[in-house]
Structure 1
Amino acid sequence: MLTKEEKTAIMKEYGRKEGDTGSAEVQIALLTADINKLNDHFKAHPKDHHGNRGLLKKIGRRRDMLRYLKNEDLDRYTALVDKLGLRR
């Protein structure tokens, strides 16, 4: 789980305006940070199969958000993918 300070830092960095918590960019950035933390957890605990389901759900949610952003605004999508370092 991300701490409150980490979440607020991500919201400030990726938000479109002050106090932005719900835009697609912020949600994708939060999911990406959470996924990265979970990947580190699974390197230390490879037999945590129940936690793996949560990881897969987060990955699917991020994929859907990225698809939505790509259909809505391609420029914002490419900028976010480059900034986050995703392979898309």
Structure 2
Amino acid sequence: MYLTKETKEEIFKKYGKDAKNTGSAEGQIALFTHRINHLTDHLKQNRKDFNTERSLVKLVGKRRSLLDYLIKKDILRYRAIVKELGLRK
């Protein structure tokens, strides 16, 4: 399994201020980014896996909405997380 409990805790500890703070926008964005990267690698090997492709598009949309929320709420937090994760608009 690619996403274990320890991996999730590590992601939330690094980006979401605390390992138990799973609801923070930064932690959620980092988790979505990790999952998106995993699905992208999977799709490079399995080009005809259309269910995974659909899941990937949905995840990208969820991450985009969280990033839009963060822009409205606090632009500095948005810039920090985009820079840290290496995302682009």
| Shorter-normalised TM range | over 0.9
Q: Once the 2 structures are TM-superposed, how far is the Cα of residue 85 of structure 1 from its aligned partner?
A: 0.2
Identity among equivalent pairs (%): 51
Letter aligned with residue 46 of structure 2: H
Please list, as runs of the form range in 1=range in 2, the aligned pairs for 1:14-33 lying within 5 A after superposition: 14-17=15-18, 19-33=20-34
Whole-Å Cα distance in 2 between the matches of residues 59 and 53 of structure 1? 10
What number of residue pairs does the alignment pair up? 88
Residue 34 of structure 1: how far off its partner (Å)? 0.2
Matched with 1:86 is: 87
Unaligned 5+ segments in structure 1 are none
Structure 1 residue 65 and structure 2 residue 36: aligned? no
CA distance in 1: counterparts of 2:38 and 2:6, whole angstroms: 15
Query: What TM-score do the two structures reach when normalised by structure 1?
Result: 0.94
Letter in 1 for 2:22: T
Whole-Å separation in 2 of the counterparts to 1:18 and 1:86 = 22
The residue aligned with 1:53 is 54
Shift of 1:18: 5.3
Alignment correspondent of 2:78? 77
Tell me by how many angstroms 1:17 deviates.
Answer: 3.9
SS at match of 1:2: coil
With normalisation by structure 2, the TM-score equals: 0.93
Q: Is the 8 A contact 2:12 2:18 kept in 1?
A: no
Structure 1 range deviating more: 72-81 or 43-52: 43-52
- Coordinate RMSD, CA, aligned: 1.1
Runs of 4+ in 1 over 3 A off after TM superposition: none
| Inter-CA distance 47–16: structure 2 relative to 1 (3 Å threshold) | same
Q: Which moved more, 1:8-17 or 1:24-33?
A: 8-17
In 2: Cα distance, 1:63 partner to 1:55 partner: 12
